[in-house]
Structure 1
Amino acid sequence: MTQQFNATSTTEDVLHNVSLAGKRILVTGVSAGLGIETARTLAAHGATVVGAARNLAKAEHATAQVRAYAEKGGGSLELLELDLADLASVRAATDRLNAAGKPFDLVIANAGVMATPFGQTKDGFETQFGTNHLGHFVLVNRIAGLLRAGSRLVTLSSAGHRFSDVDLADPNFAHTPYDPWLAYGRSKTANILFAIAFDARHKAQDIRATAVHPGAIMTELVRYLPEGALEAMESQINAQAAAAGKPPFEFKTVPQGAATSVWAGLVAAADAVGGHYCEDCHVAPVIPNDAPKGLLDEGVRAYAVDPAHAKALWAKSEEMVGERFAT
């Protein structure tokens, strides 16, 4: 019987007695938070980890513990310069990976930003949609040929996808008043739809994709929030919890937050998670689009797992980045 895990499970829980020797895994965003922990546990269990980061000097310092665990566990870590907000950087990184020609068993699209002030990437895309979705869209598709049979893609989404669906008519807020949480929700919905579409395109080659919600964790993601915003949000969530007869909200630890990515990428059955959205180390139920937007509730909005919607986003994304990707 498959081991059951939950919201309190950690990376070490889900990888207990699991050897990743011979596995080659790409993780984006290894200079902070979940990325560091994800890389650490993978390398500690014997995997060869390619860690991507925008700031290599910061990543070198941040991953010192990863290298120490890798040395003990038989794994390794190499760093790759990658700025997801600059498609020239993304393409340069993929050129290096393709030139090396070394296949991957898993790609974890972990990097991202949250609730940023209005801004644009180097290519003129709204910052959150451009960084969280389009950067990863180009990265993963350009190295799809390196994904071997039996490999997986895990995209990190969020319960924040419930804030908003993607807007394919106005992805860059050219006509819509900008709201940082609306933009964040759009980008996190896009992360799910990308996984749905990628899975549909590649499952015949035994390559699967899934999206995950890591849970609420205190990481550098909160750096753009104004003073007092996090406390106000926590109070609101606790009020919702009290009204529903639930216990007070608690943040996950970083090892608990990274657990679902590792579980979905390496432990869960591929057919169980492929083409789905997961949270707390299980596949989440689909909830109606008009369900309340409380962040304590489980589930994924129906619009975020709609195959036709995923295909439409794929086509729009290709148009925006000026590049088409074969099945």
Structure 2
Amino acid sequence: MSKIFGARSTTDEVLDGVDLSGRRILVTGVSAGLGVETARALAARGAHVVGAARDLKKAQAATEPVRAAAANGGTLELVALDLASLDSVRSCADELVADGLDFDVVIANAGVMAPPFGKTSDGFETQFGTNHLGHFVLVNRIAPLLKPGARVVSLASAGHRFSDVDLEDPNFDRGGYEPFVAYGRSKTANVLFAVEFDRRHRDAGVRATAVHPGGIQTELSRHMTEEMLQGLLDSVARSTPAGGTGQFEWKSIPQGAATSVWAGIVAPADAVGGRYCEDCRVAEVVDGEGLRGGVRSYALDPERATALWARSEEMVGERF
């Protein structure tokens, strides 16, 4: 790569000079925050963006900047998708498959963080069911639309460092629910999904990667109390980032969405395939306490990824 990007890079900087005319890209969660910015940056460079959202009325209003920025033939199409309902996920996937139009990139951006204990309409713990299983079914069902050279970007988080997946009790049926433990499980699952999806599809020229957008103040944190947020910031402050030290700073939304478009469009496929990226680079494996710097080894464990895939198929009642 001729350009080096980092934590402060924005979507416009990463995509500077990139022509996406004729490219078709699916972005989930386009009703706010990172999803809207990701869609805007792509449509502004000529991409046909299919934006998925649970609340289409909200998404229609939120994506006005996307339509305003669209250039060089760029467009935005909205589709209904409620990741907390497999009926909705399957309906969305079936509609896309029936259209028969290929995708160059899928950015699995939507998610929830640290809500009170609850379950999806299918009986899964809310975060695992929404963040992981909903995208698991969606991406696998539309996999035939991914042409050679396509990429899947799974939005994970440094929050994966809170917890590995629990394949024995993914829904907290034995009790002991803690919002950030559940969030950590779901975000680890997002990384492991990318590892296994990449393994299964790379011979066909389709690659998958996971990304951490960084700390951004968006609607994702709407379930967090001030006490929870302060506890999170205290944990970050006690951490030492890989490769140096530095005070934590929030990213802007364009900075937060930069790693998604970098991994999906700009970075070499072989560099990011099956890996975890942060700050527009491939992250190092860093075990130990704290939320800053790197990816825990359990999130990239290929055997763990295969086991999660099998458990996920069992839970959703489909084999891929």
TM-score tier after normalising by the smaller chain length? over 0.9
Identity over the aligned pairs, expressed in percent? 66
Indicate the residue corresponding to 1:295 in structure 2.
Answer: 291
What's the CA shift string for 1:19-78, capped at 9, x where partnerless? 0001000000000100000000000010000000000000000001100111x3420000
State yes or no: 1:95 paired with 2:94: yes
Q: Displacement of 1:94 after TM fit?
A: 0.6
Residues in 2 aligned to 1:240 and 1:92: alpha-carbon distance in whole angstroms: 43
In structure 2, C-alpha distance between the alignment counterparts of 1:7 and 1:75, rounded to whole Å: 27
Residue number in structure 2 paired with 1:317: 312
Stretch moving more, 167-176 or 42-51: 167-176
Paired residues of 1:26 and 1:108 also in contact (CA < 8 A):
yes
Q: 1:235 to 1:186 in 2, by over 3 A?
A: closer
The answer to whether the 8 A contact 2:21-2:72 is kept is no
Q: Which amino acid aligns with 1:44?
A: A
| TM-score relative to the length of structure 1 | 0.95
Structure 1 residue aligned with 2:34: 34
**For the structure 1 residues 308 and 236, does the alpha-carbon distance in structure 2 shift closer, same or farther, using more than 3 Å as the test?**
closer
Shift of the alpha carbon at 1:234? 2.4
Opposite residue 221 of structure 1, the aligned amino acid is: L
CA shift, 1:286, in A, is 1.3
Matched, 1:286 2:274: no
Query: In the alignment, residue 305 of structure 1 is paired with which amino acid?
Result: L
**Which amino acid in structure 2 is aligned with residue 171 of structure 1?**
P
Give the conservation status (yes or no) of the 8 Å contact 1:170–1:176: no
The whole-number CA distance in structure 2 between the counterparts of 1:129 and 1:90 is: 15
Code of the aligned partner of 1:126: E
State the Cα distance separating 1:239 from its structure 2 match: 5.0
**8 A Cα contact 1:241 1:248, kept in partner:** no
1:241 & 1:323 partners in 2: Cα distance?
Answer: 41
Q: Distance in 2 between matches of 1:208 and 1:245?
A: 30
Contact 1:241–1:249, Cα closer than 8 Å, also in 2: no
Q: Which amino acid aligns with 1:204?
A: D
RMSD over aligned CA atoms reads 1.5
> What does residue 17 of structure 2 align with?
17
The Cα offsets for residues 157-213 of structure 1, whole Å up to 9 and x where unpaired, read as: 000000000000000000141000000000000000000000000000000000000
Task: Label 1:100 to 1:308 Cα distance change in 2 as closer, same or farther (>3 A).
Answer: same
Aligned amino acid, residue 60 of structure 1: Q
**Could you tell me which amino acid in structure 2 is paired with residue 321 of structure 1?**
V
Tell me, yes or no, if structure 1 residue 307 matches structure 2 residue 307.
no
Aligned with 2:222: secondary structure? Answer: helix
Number of aligned residue pairs: 319
**Per-residue displacement from partner, 1:80-137 (whole Å, max 9, x unpaired)?**
0000000000000011001100000000000000001000000000000000000000
1:182 match: 181
Q: Matched residues in 1 for 2:128 and 2:90: separation? A: 18
CA distance in 2, matches of 1:262, 1:87: 27
Aligned equivalents of 2:254, 2:135: Cα separation in 1: 23
Q: Report deviation, 1:241.
A: 6.1
Query: Paired residue for 1:215?
Result: 214
In structure 1, distance between residues paired with 2:238 and 2:184 = 22
Contact 2:46–2:74 under 8 Å retained in 1: yes
Q: Corresponding residue for 1:133?
A: 132
Q: What is the Cα deviation at residue 249 of structure 1?
A: 1.5
Q: In 2, distance between residues paired with 1:73 and 1:176?
A: 53
The separation in 1 between residues aligned to 2:199 and 2:166, in whole angstroms, is 22
Q: What TM-score do the two structures reach when normalised by structure 2? A: 0.97
Tell me the residue number matched to 2:3. 3
Contact 2:31-2:58 at 8 Å conserved across structures = yes
Quote the residue 2:263 is aligned against: 264
**Pair 1:26–1:283, CA change in 2 (3 A):** same
Q: Tell me, which stretches of 5 or more residues in structure 2 are unaligned? A: none
Give secondary structure in 2 for the equivalent of 1:216: coil
Moved over 2 A (4+): 231-242, 244-248
- Closer/same/farther in 2, CA of residues 240 and 324 from structure 1, 3 Å limit: closer
